[in-house]
Copies of this chain bind each other. A is one copy, B any other.
């Protein structure tokens, strides 16, 4: 691999001059500058990133720790992160974890010296300790992670508020037997959305046996299975709130297969408003979150820290979530 020395030797100048040319730093005569540029191009030289960041102590890279979850939601978040990072001239080093403390610590160690800051998206409740441990080592911003207020810089979706809106919508339309398809039990978003389900049903005077909870894992397949189970329930619920759109769509499919009409027989409401939601049949009522804004804001906050322009206050920022009523929900049949 051709290094700065090779260019210097070939061009008949010192490595310092080549460095100056490459970085537009210092003053170099136009003639030598052009000469060096020519030689560099001829040799196909490009600076060695690791060596450069060793001396400058900047990597122009931010790390992102992702959970082992898939689907449109994460794809959209990453898209937002990636766009913001790219516009700032940074790169993205990604690592995935299953939320286990050991794994998170390992990922952190691997990131040391390769990133200027870390974006942690680990909605698993068990991850809390690991995240606490690493926060002093370099700038960290938490994305939709469980965290005590003021403990970290964090961005979270207004899960509870959004889910409450969805549930009130159903209750106000007269539903009194409502099911929730929950997400993973140790998942932060899941827990918060479920909490709203329980609170609002209780407030509305819905008995515990009329507030049905069915377990899911955020996938379409689990939503489909949950939908099948709900068809068997007697009496059937008149409304279903799914912890995300993927499960809502799976449930929609199961309900239809079982001959139930949506929304006449059963209303369905999701969460996230993934791009596909409005194209469902019927178009899905759901809680809208500006998903990519979530990523963008997180990057902005992190880069603030990295560049030192941030005042170091540990803030928790809430990304709003509001219900969008489409055609999959309405009043129960008389």
Binding site for B on A (CB under 8 A): 1, 44, 46-54, 59-61, 70-72, 74-76, 78-79, 82-83, 86, 91-96, 108-114, 136-138, 219-221, 224, 246, 249-250, 252-253, 256, 275-276, 278-281, 283
Contact = CB atoms under 8 A, between A and B. Distances in A.
19 contacts: A49-B112, A50-B50, A52-B113, A61-B93, A75-B78, A78-B78, A91-B94, A91-B110, A91-B114, A92-B94, A94-B94, A221-B275, A246-B275, A249-B279, A252-B279, A253-B281, A253-B283, A256-B281, A280-B280
Contacts of A136: 44
B276 A220 contact: yes
A42 to B, nearest CB: 13
Q: How many copies make up the complex?
A: 2
A96 B51 CA distance: 23
Contacts of A253: 278-281, 283
Nearest to A75: B75
B220 A48 contact: no
A46 B109 contact: yes
A279 B226 CA distance: 14
A71 B75 contact: yes
